[in-house]
Structures are given as structure tokens and as C-alpha cells.
Structure 1
Amino acid sequence: MKYLVRDKIFAIGDDYWIEDERGRHAFLVDGKALRLRDTLELKDPDGQILVTLRQKMFSVRDTMTIERDERPLATVRRKRLSLLRNHFRVTLVEGTGLDVSGRVLDREFAVEYEGDLLAHISRQWFHVRDAYAVNVVREDADAALLLAVAVCVIRMAERERED
């Protein structure tokens, strides 16, 4: 299933819809303003919070956490620096991990688990200006988690570019 994300400068307090491939609202990204740290909630169309994304305050490297039901689900960190590609590691609480690599700032990257492609993020599928697609390729994959990972790594890469 492909999801369309409108690509704009994300600021705290911004809310935006992620649409499915039929143009229906699938998820709401709700930015929380006036918080000490960068916080976003990914909600279903009925307003139910699916996952919460938070910037970790006191860490050596830029880190974001993903929580479900107010419990940690995953931690997102930059894996290593490369001139052409970005690499991030998503460590799930049960100890497994996802690898994110590609050109994050260009919105051309992949999310993999042990070499298996879970999602491909690209601007190529949509001709809408300032938008990118998150193609969740496995039907058994957690779409909300993969969308949260995409939002996290893009925010982290944007913050790093600004610094």
C-alpha cells in the first residue's frame, strides 16, 4: 500500500494528513506545540493515537523514540555518516532492528529488516509537488510504525542539515 505524505517544512505544531493511494485520509500527524522536545502523534482518521514520536533530550547523537500506548516501541538513531547516503538504525524494544538507508533529504530511501524490504520511500511515484510516497511493500508490516520511522528520519536529517 502506498501512502502520500505532503512534504513541507515540518515545524512543531504542524498537523498534516497522510493519504492512502486512493486519496483518503489514512493517518494524521499531529505536531505538539509548546513542548520542551519535538513531539508528534500519529493518529488514525478517528483521532486515536497510534504512535507517539519524541526527540530524546539528552543524548550524544540525535535520537528519537517511537512509543505505542505510552510504552517505548523503538529508538531511531543515525547509524553512520556517508557522503552520498544516510544510514539510520531503528532498534525495536524486543531487540530486533530495522535498517534505513538511502538519500533521506532527497526522499529516496528504504526500510529493511534483515535484508528484506519493508518500505520504500520515494518522490518518483507521485507527480504532486512537495510530496513523497511511502510504499509499504509487505502486507504483514506495521504501516503506522513504518510511516513513523520515515517521518523520524526525515526530521532528524532536516535538523542535521540546519545545524
Structure 2
Amino acid sequence: MRYLVRDRMLAFHEEAWIETEHREKAYRVDRKLFRPRSTFALVNTEGDQVATIVKKALTLHHTILVKEDGTTVARISKRAFTFFGDRFKVVLRDGRRLRVVGNFWDREFDIQDRGTTLAHVSRRWFSFRDAYAVDVMAEQDALLLLVLAVCVDHTLQDLKGEKVTNL
């Protein structure tokens, strides 16, 4: 299924909507301002928080934790220095290790598990606004894959200095 993530920047609040391919709103990503660490909340259409994204402070690698009900379900790391481009890795609670690979400069990347693509993220058709598509191939992991796509996108924005964010 294809999802569309649309970022909206307001004066004191950052928000993104995740819509289905049928233009139905599925989730809202809210940035929690005025906190010691960068925190995002993923909220469903009923207003229930389904996941929390927390950037760890003072780490050598850019590290982000994804939590559901207070329990860490994933850890995303981006190495600060690499010889062959950006390298992201994801460690899930069940021990699986996912890789995020692709063209990060153009924001075209895949989330893979042992060589199998679980999701493809693309800004190709949305360069005129802050939007990107997430094609999810593993629907049972759709929520987690959407959260991972948001984490990688915000990390890339932070590293390139496109927006004033800390995630």
C-alpha cells in the first residue's frame, strides 16, 4: 500500500500527516517542543498515541529510539562518518536487523530485511513541497515502516540543515 507523508511547518509547531493512497488521513506526526530531547509522537485518527520517536542525546552516532507503550521496539542508528555514503541500520526488539539503503541525497531509499525490500521511500514526484511517498510491501509492519521512514527523513533534514529540527 502507498502512503503519503506531508510535512507542515508552523511557527511553534511541526506536524506531518500520513495519508493512505486514497487520501484518507491515517496518522499525524507531532513534534514535542520545549523538551530536553527531540521527541515526536505518532497519533492515529482517533487521537491515540501509537508510537513515540525519541532522539538520544550525546551519542557518537545519530541514534533514535522508537517506542510503543513505553517499550523500545526499534533503534535506528546513522554512522557519523562512513567511506561509502550514509549508512543507517535498524535493530528491532525481536532481534531482526534492517538496513536502510539508497540515494539519500535525492531521498530515494529502501528499508530492507535480509535483502528483501519491505518499503520504498521516494520524494521523486513531490519535490515542489514537503511530501514523500512510502510504498509498504509488508503490510503487517506498516506502522513500524512508516515510523522508520519518518525517522530517516528527519535525520537527513537535520544533517543537511534544511529545517531547524533536532531529529
Both proteins in one fold, TM over 0.5: yes
Report the more deviating stretch, 100-109 or 74-83.
Answer: 74-83
Q: Report Cα offsets for 1:82-129 as digits up to 9, x if no partner.
A: 56x432001112221110011234220000011111000012356873
What count of residue pairs does the alignment treat as equivalent?
161
Does the aligned pair in 2 maintain the 1:42–1:144 contact within 8 Å?
no
Question: Map of 1:69-88 to 2, 5 A cutoff?
Answer: 69-79=69-79, 81-82=82-83, 85-88=85-88
Q: Percent identity?
A: 38
In 1, Cα distance between the equivalents of 2:75 and 2:44? 22
**Partner residue, 2:64:** 64
In 1, Cα distance between the equivalents of 2:110 and 2:10? 21
Give the TM-score, by structure 2 length.
0.85
Does the aligned pair in 1 maintain the 2:110–2:119 contact within 8 Å?
yes
Change beyond 3 A, Cα 1:132–1:94: same
Work out whether 1:21 is the aligned partner of 2:21. Answer: yes
Work out whether 1:157 is the aligned partner of 2:151. Answer: no
Gaps of 5+ in 1: none
3-state SS of paired residue (1:51): strand
Give 1:138 shift: 2.1
User: RMSD value over aligned CA atoms?
Assistant: 2.4
Give the TM-score, by structure 1 length.
0.87
Question: Map of 1:5-44 to 2, 5 A cutoff?
Answer: 5-7=5-7, 13-44=13-44
